[in-house]
Structure 1
């Protein structure tokens, strides 16, 4: 396995390339990604300037996978700007295909380590951050690879506006407990749950994802946590 195919940068571990992409999907990455990709060297103070249409706020989704949630949210909220992060080429290609098919102009993408993007964003510039069904790294010796960490929560907090939500979804109980432990000891966040249904039921308007559907088929249940930026 080459260093290009498998590497670690900041918080990203794993293989970026799987099966070869079909010609059409490969062409989307070659032709459309350069126009939609956030340039870390030229991030504007007003993130709304990233979009060719007026937006009232900007939200970030880290690791959008098959892009089901990202595309749904962008379609339902045309006056909101969305930045989607996905380092895996198959998922990135699905996102690009959906953006083209739906004619979306309120989505921008980043195809590398999310920590690099978070560090480049202006302080208090995001209205929401979503981390949905991230890689759970289930083996105990790999838990340090999980995206949720004290350092990354600090990064998210710096980029979020006061009062804005950080949303986390997972079907892996150990990762849910891990996230609760880290977020509840953070000075920057408070857990918003008041009763069990606040985290056992999907959020209003939740479209579901392929990964979630697979988890349900395999007998696992999703948990949907919301933390407020203090």
Structure 2
């Protein structure tokens, strides 16, 4: 993503849950269609978990995930759901689980909301913001499965520190994932996968599988289709929380 916004780190030395974080990426894109604006105004509020934003939870107190969905079903997490194809597909395929999607790009959120309406799925929650803020307030070991599909590639070497597969993101992710929980990574960028294979185990995961063959319940996203059109090869890795 091209547009960048930065915030200074907290001054009190607490780097685990800073008051402000650097965020790199787009928040808004091109003008949305009228229908997408309608989805945002009519649907987002009822699907957004409470207690995630700093305005709602300035003390960053841990929230009870059961309050998000009103039940104790297993919870999955998708980080950066793009246009929402995979998120809605998984929700429809696994109605017995609850899935939270985190995405700061509001145009992608609007696209997802339209797909939720069309699919009529009810086991989804949508956090329209940084996944780190969500992971800050979730209790330890509450996530049974997590997905990172075609994340921002940040191809320039000096920008690799902005990728999700760094300790800044992986350590909080490991904290909220249950022992034995599965973490899936899909990308078409060889250096991204190489970084994931190197850094994810350092955060408390073990590599289970790595190949060019997707998972049996995988649905190809628009980002994957773009990669294929442009001649890039998709790559998939599965990790398990130790």
User: Normalising to structure 1: TM-score of the pair?
Assistant: 0.90
Q: Is residue 2:115 matched to residue 1:102?
A: no
**CA 1:19/1:192 → structure 2, altered by over 3 Å: closer, same or farther?**
same
2:12 is matched with which residue? none
* Contact 1:51 1:105 (8 Å CA) reproduced: no
* Contact 1:124 1:160 (8 Å CA) reproduced: yes
1:49 is matched with which residue? 67
| Aligned with 1:209 (options 208, 216, 221) | 221
1:112 is matched with which residue? 129
| Aligned with 2:24 (options 13, 37, 46) | 13
Runs of 4+ deviating beyond 4 Å? none
**CA 1:152/1:26 → structure 2, altered by over 3 Å: closer, same or farther?**
same
Specify the SS of the correspondent of 2:200. Answer: helix
**CA 1:166/1:8 → structure 2, altered by over 3 Å: closer, same or farther?**
farther
For residues 79-102 of structure 1, what are the alpha-carbon distances to aligned partners after superposition, in whole Å with 9 as ceiling and x for unaligned? 110101111121100111111222
Specify the SS of the correspondent of 1:109. Answer: strand
1:88 is matched with which residue? 105
User: Normalising to structure 2: TM-score of the pair?
Assistant: 0.85
Please report the RMSD computed on the Cα atoms of aligned residues, expressed in angstroms.
Answer: 1.7
* Contact 1:56 1:81 (8 Å CA) reproduced: yes
Q: Is residue 2:166 matched to residue 1:155?
A: no
| Aligned with 2:93 (options 62, 76, 80) | 76
**CA–CA distance in structure 2, aligned partners of residues 143 and 22 of structure 1:** 33
1:191 is matched with which residue? 207
**Deviation, structure 1 residue 201:** 0.4
**CA–CA distance in structure 2, aligned partners of residues 55 and 78 of structure 1:** 13
**CA–CA distance in structure 2, aligned partners of residues 7 and 31 of structure 1:** 28
**CA–CA distance in structure 2, aligned partners of residues 71 and 11 of structure 1:** 29
**CA 1:109/1:43 → structure 2, altered by over 3 Å: closer, same or farther?**
farther
* Contact 1:48 1:58 (8 Å CA) reproduced: no
* Contact 1:88 1:111 (8 Å CA) reproduced: yes
How many residues in Structure 1 have an aligned counterpart in Structure 2?
219
* Contact 2:63 2:137 (8 Å CA) reproduced: no
1:141 is matched with which residue? 158
**Deviation, structure 1 residue 55:** 5.6
**CA–CA distance in structure 1, aligned partners of residues 31 and 237 of structure 2:** 35
* Contact 2:5 2:22 (8 Å CA) reproduced: no
* Contact 1:11 1:145 (8 Å CA) reproduced: no
**CA–CA distance in structure 2, aligned partners of residues 190 and 79 of structure 1:** 26
**Deviation, structure 1 residue 43:** 6.2
Q: Which runs of 5+ in 2 are unaligned?
A: 8-20
* Contact 1:80 1:106 (8 Å CA) reproduced: yes
Q: Which has the higher strand share?
A: 2
